Amino acid sequence: MTQEPVSLTSALASFTEQWSPRIVTAVNDYDVRIAKVEGEHVWHVHDHTDEFFLVLDGELHIALREAAGERTVVLPKGSVFTVPRGTEHKPYAPFPTAILLLEPTGTSTVGDRHDEVPDHVDVTAGHSLTGRGRPAP
């Protein structure tokens, strides 16, 4: 973890990959990750942790499969939402979007259970931002 401030604007400018989070810092046993997203991710579930989203730029839609049925939440820039553990969900960005995620270190970007992972989706637990943050396990 760096002892210097991290510019999220600079950090986002340092990579181009979609759905491939970068770890910008850590808080206790949690990674603070940023990602560029566009199009669909995959249906997935995190069995043991909630997943926190903050939209830095753009708009994120999150489809949820809940006991009462399926619904979609729409998060415009500046919005936050937490997907409760055990809830099947599928993020989608209709245009280029930047998000910040807060997840326990080592959490997979496609959860514990998921649909087939498309080739463009990176399934690691986040990449180290060049020279900053923790390396991915």
Average pLDDT of 1-7?
80
Which range (19-23, 104-108, 118-122) has the least confidence?
A: 118-122
Task: Confirm if 110 and 8 have CB atoms less than 8 A apart.
Answer: no
Phi, psi of 13 (to 5 degrees): -75, -10
pTM for the structure as a whole? 0.86
Torsion region of 126: left, alpha or beta (phi above 0 gives left; psi -120 to 50 gives alpha): left
| Structural domains present in the chain | 8-107 (2.60.120.10)
113-125 pLDDT, tens digit each: 666 766 666 656 6
Task: Confirm if 20 and 122 have CB atoms less than 8 A apart.
Answer: yes
